Structure 1
Amino acid sequence: MNFIIWIVVGGVIGWLASMVMRTDAQQGLFLNIVVGIVGAFLGGWLLAPLFGTGTINQNDFSLSSMFVSFLGAVVLLMIVNLFRRGSVR
């Protein structure tokens, strides 16, 4: 059951991050899920120690962990945009 919740929450986080970064038209459902989950890993590695919380990948489904996962997904999309276009939008 946690796996399904992880996929759904990762998809929502990826979708919200793509809306913020204006890449929503380029991404589908699968890419939103991947961005949400990989962004949560990135957020856990970079941002979780700063905020003192976990991420959705650590089975911590609190508001602070979702925020850190969201920020990680936004950072991931910034990095992708930087390499794809040569500038961050």
Structure 2
Amino acid sequence: MINFIIALIMGGIIGWLASKVMNTDAQQGVFLNVVVGCIGSMLGGWLFSFLTGGTQNLRDAPFNPVTLVVAFGGAIVLLGIVNLIRRGQVR
């Protein structure tokens, strides 16, 4: 249970950092930052496992640097896809 709570907290931080990078922070609240961070972590883990064969996600290793980079990259990809769908262009 504690890993789940830590994953939510780390997901929120990663989602917030990704929203700062993608200039969508003003449009999102805390809840959407957590959602973007957690879904981005799953997306990044899937992409990472597809490319390298390894798996990394926030629930298994929330403080592993590789996990954090993979989750951050997945969150940025997710925000880019959302921006592309919503506006027709990536910022």
When normalised by structure 2's length, the TM-score is 0.90
1:54 corresponds to: 56
Runs of 4+ in structure 1 deviating by more than 6 angstroms, as ranges, are none
Compute the RMSD of aligned alpha carbons: 1.3
- Name structure 1 gaps, 5 residues minimum: none
Number of aligned residue pairs? 88
- SS for the counterpart of 1:56 is coil
When normalised by structure 1's length, the TM-score is 0.92
- SS for the counterpart of 1:22 is coil
- Name structure 2 gaps, 5 residues minimum: none
Report the alpha carbon displacement of residue 55 of structure 1 after superposing the two structures with TM. 1.9
Identical-residue share of aligned pairs (%): 58
1:86 corresponds to: 88
2:28 corresponds to: 27
1:45 corresponds to: 46
